[in-house]
Amino acid sequence: MRIIAKIMPEQDLSHYLAFLLASAQRQMRIGLTQAIHDDEFTEEHWRILHVLSDEQGRSMGDLAERVLMNGPALTKNVDKLVTRALVQRAADEQDSRRVLVFITDLGLRSVARLKQCVDAHHNEIEEALGPRKTQQLKKLLENFIDRSRPN
């Protein structure tokens, strides 16, 4: 019979940066969901509509990278937005094999309304942290993201 030693963690998860970042991201998602006040929109929908609001049209690959989603999740979300007439797909004029996603007028009106909710949520966070700490946190996160990118 083999005896397996029970390993007791010396630290709880909150000592790990990965856990703290995941926890902060979870809190942010919960706060954004509450701020949006609309069961029809998710944080992912907000990100997609926000990126498309420049009215440039994006390939699914470019859009996935910009909104931090994998291909299948993005396709599922874009399908929902197409069904609701918030975005549309169209062939790229320069390369008809490529499909681009564009925001519709209804999508632009929706993202403008959502932006007010998201901005209010971010203002609440800045009020809680203070402007100086908010800027410091943004700088730290930007620095972390830049330095941790794979080569």
Q: DSSP code of 88?
A: E
DSSP sequence for 89-123: EEE-SS-TTSEEEEE-HHHHHHHHHHHHHHHHHHH
pTM comes to: 0.83
Average of per-residue pLDDT values in the chain: 91
Using 50, 70 and 90 to split pLDDT, how confident is the model at 72?
A: very high
The reported pLDDT for the residue numbered 150 is 81
What domains can you pick out in the chain, each with its CATH number?
39-146 (1.10.10.10)
Higher-confidence position of 15 and 8: 15
Q: Could you read off the pLDDT of 129-139 as tens digits, one per residue?
A: 999 999 999 99
Provide mean pLDDT across the span 54-61. 95
| 43/36 Cα distance (integer angstroms) | 8
3-class DSSP state for residue 42? coil
| 144/131 Cα distance (integer angstroms) | 20
